[in-house]
Structure 1
Amino acid sequence: MHYHRIPHSSLEVSALGLGTMTFGEQNSEADAQAQLDYAVSQGVNLIDTAEMYPVPPRPETQGQTERFIGNWLAQRGGREKLIIASKVIGPARNNDSEIRPNQKLDRKNIRDALDASLKRLQTDYLDLYQVHWPQRSTNCFGQLGYRWDDKAPEITLLETLEALAECQRAGKIRYIGVSNETAWGVMRYLALAEKHDLPRIVTVQNPYSLLNRSFEVGLAEVSRYEGVMLLAYSCLAFGVLSGKYLHGAQPAKARNTLFSRFTRYSGEQAGKATAAYVALAQRHGLDPAQMALAFVRQQRFVGSTLLGATSLEQLKINLDSLDITLSDELLAELNAIHQVYTYPAP
């Protein structure tokens, strides 16, 4: 395993991290513990979760992912060797994301969310605490067409940052990050931190894959000059880049088969792009999923590539992508496909 030092922090994260949003929905607690055991045995030290998980969110299962991880931590020990990251959700975007009444990214909500996460995870602190999505209305989760809103934000970024700073001073979190954020949002957080002597965000967790390279447009430059590294998620685009959904296939127990809400990477252009990427991998004798993960891992702005798996076998295949280094020639062929399907999915 390779490790990356996250700028402006003492965090050294594994090049491949473990995403856990299926724990408690598609994965049982026994499945979760097996995945955690294997990932750590292979050198993974970054475990990423969220108060909202598992996904799709349901009141009956909310928080179950953190509980599974907490039970595993209590049984296995070695907390100090791991980097545990969680997230506080932003305002409710639809009926199934309501966790607290009048959900906001203010002091009370952040404090309550963090304390609940720490209790479920059975730990006194988090290494990284992230804002899951912004308070303001902006483009994320595949949205396009920016909607101009003349209303002032109900909660400002400064209020959110001050609340996170209080949690850091209390020793409950070591570092802070954001997720599903824009270049403007990241730069604004950094400016506020400098102006008001508050902690700076050190990571941004956004989607990044062969089907969604939007991070490269503005945020990659922010990463380069400000040292805010990407924790890349959805690197297989909900599993689409493995090729398992090609030609209308609906494999049993797969996420897109089970849950109709996951349509972000299921459009016609995404299907054509995926077919081209899979064919390229096959011509080079590569597993399509491993090629897609290697592409993400080799980007210089990526601090860690988060892996999500619904089976231990799938996790093993994904972790083995660490052994693959894509040649300049193959990267050129990937970019040639990208030129044809530049934006197949947001």
Structure 2
Amino acid sequence: MQYRKLGSSDLAVSEIGLGTMTFGEQNSLDEARRQLDHAVAQGVNFIDAAEMYPVPGRPETQGRTEEYVGDWLKGQPRDRLIIASKVTGPARGFDWIRGGPRAVDRRNIEEAVHGSLRRLGTDYIDLYQIHWPDRYVPMFGQSAYDAALERPCTPIQEQLETMADLIRAGKIRYVGLSNETPWGVSAFVKVAEQMDLPRVISIQNAYNLINRSFESGLAETCRHEGLGLLAYSPLAFGLLSGKYLREPPASARLTCFPEFGGRYRKPNVDEAVAAYAALAERLGLAPAALALSFVRSRWFVSSTIIGATCLDQLAANLDSVRVTLDAETLAAIDAIHARYPNPAP
């Protein structure tokens, strides 16, 4: 396992990080412990959670993921781990979280941080991320900006001032963004510079073989502004494992929760997935190993966040660190991408 500096911070994150959003829904406490133990034994030091997890979000389970991570964390050397969490943004429901997160303002950020610290059973969170912007942006499968949907939002200055106070209090170490845009990254950096507030160090956005939209505006922005990408959904909710090309197991995420399929059930998705799976077969690789190795190979990726519903799946995905794609393979991937460009943005 290799480690990469995260943005402009002094954090060195493992090239593969463990996502935990299945903990408390598809995974029991015992399963979560075993996954965490195995991941750390393989060199993973970056563990990503969120106050709204597990998914799908429900009032009965909200916060359970952090509780499971916190239960495991009690017996771990805290200073060797990088724990990340996120504050839930507005406009997506979740009325059971803090009475409905209407804004990413001071009250909501502070309440969210304190709740996460309590559930995680830790004194500090290494990376605290805004799960999605306070303002309107197209996301989670939407791609076209609609000015008619703009709404009042919390000033970025207030968000960063609150984060600065939490850093001074020792409750968080660094600030990150998630599901952000080039304009949003630039705005956060500009306000931080003008007001002498904490700079964001990372962005957690979807990035995979069927969604390479990060490579245009965001790659350039993050390079110049010093942010590292924490790539989520590197297997596109499991599609790039190839299991949905055949009869998927009953426990598969899109089998259990078909409402998540909208982002990935678009024209040319199945054709692109089949093409990448065929390439993997020619190379003697599992489709998942090809997909994960590609994401890991990108210069702008600090860590590739994987999630699993069973230990065997986790072990196989972690083993992908042994795969290095050569120039010929990368050219073959680009040829498929040219044929099916970003079918699931």
Where does residue 162 of structure 2 map in the other structure?
A: 163
Change beyond 3 A, Cα 1:152–1:278:
closer
1:68 alignment partner AA: Y
Where does residue 49 of structure 1 map in the other structure?
A: 49
Query: For residues 232 and 16 of structure 1, what CA distance do their matches in structure 2 show?
Result: 9
User: Secondary structure in 2 aligned to 1:129?
Assistant: strand
Mapping of residues 269-308 of structure 1, within 5 Å: 269-308=268-307
Indicate whether 1:13 and 2:13 are aligned: yes
C-alpha RMSD of the superposition: 1.2
2:167 alignment partner AA: Q
User: Secondary structure in 1 aligned to 2:89?
Assistant: coil
Indicate whether 1:67 and 2:67 are aligned: yes
Where does residue 213 of structure 2 map in the other structure?
A: 214
Check the 8 A contact 1:52/1:97 in 2, yes or no. Answer: no
Indicate whether 1:265 and 2:264 are aligned: yes
Mapping of residues 114-133 of structure 1, within 5 Å: 114-133=113-132
Mapping of residues 1-346 of structure 1, within 5 Å: 1-74=1-74, 76-94=75-93, 96=94, 98-103=96-101, 104-149=103-148, 153-247=152-246, 249-263=247-261, 264-346=263-345
Change beyond 3 A, Cα 1:151–1:5:
closer
1:309 alignment partner AA: A
Check the 8 A contact 2:46/2:83 in 1, yes or no. Answer: yes
> How far does the alpha carbon of each residue in 1:181-208 deviate from its partner, in whole angstroms, 9 at most, with x for none?
0010001000000000000000000000
> How far does the alpha carbon of each residue in 1:71-130 deviate from its partner, in whole angstroms, 9 at most, with x for none?
0011x2211100000000110313x46512252101111000000000000000000000
207-216 vs 162-171, which moves further:
162-171
Check the 8 A contact 2:136/2:149 in 1, yes or no. Answer: no
Query: For residues 267 and 245 of structure 1, what CA distance do their matches in structure 2 show?
Result: 14
Q: Percent identity?
A: 57
Query: For residues 73 and 313 of structure 1, what CA distance do their matches in structure 2 show?
Result: 22
Report the alpha carbon displacement of residue 7 of structure 1 after superposing the two structures with TM. 3.2
Check the 8 A contact 1:57/1:97 in 2, yes or no. Answer: no
2:256 alignment partner AA: L
Query: For residues 15 and 335 of structure 2, what CA distance do their matches in structure 1 show?
Result: 26
1:259 alignment partner AA: F
TM-score, scaled to structure 2 = 0.97
- Alignment gaps of 5+ in structure 2: none
1:251 alignment partner AA: P
> How far does the alpha carbon of each residue in 1:13-32 deviate from its partner, in whole angstroms, 9 at most, with x for none?
00000000000000000000
Report the alpha carbon displacement of residue 341 of structure 1 after superposing the two structures with TM. 0.4
Query: For residues 199 and 268 of structure 1, what CA distance do their matches in structure 2 show?
Result: 41
Query: For residues 267 and 109 of structure 2, what CA distance do their matches in structure 1 show?
Result: 40
Query: For residues 309 and 73 of structure 2, what CA distance do their matches in structure 1 show?
Result: 20
Report the alpha carbon displacement of residue 153 of structure 1 after superposing the two structures with TM. 2.6
Query: For residues 72 and 149 of structure 2, what CA distance do their matches in structure 1 show?
Result: 47
Instruction: Figure out how many residues of one structure are paired with residues of the other and give that number.
Output: 343
Change beyond 3 A, Cα 1:38–1:151:
closer
User: Secondary structure in 1 aligned to 2:132?
Assistant: coil
195-204 vs 134-143, which moves further:
134-143
Query: For residues 305 and 12 of structure 1, what CA distance do their matches in structure 2 show?
Result: 13
Check the 8 A contact 2:136/2:151 in 1, yes or no. Answer: no
Query: For residues 208 and 120 of structure 2, what CA distance do their matches in structure 1 show?
Result: 29
User: Secondary structure in 2 aligned to 1:306?
Assistant: strand
258-267 vs 185-194, which moves further:
258-267
- Alignment gaps of 5+ in structure 1: none
TM-score, scaled to structure 1 = 0.97
Check the 8 A contact 2:135/2:150 in 1, yes or no. Answer: no
Report the alpha carbon displacement of residue 6 of structure 1 after superposing the two structures with TM. 1.8
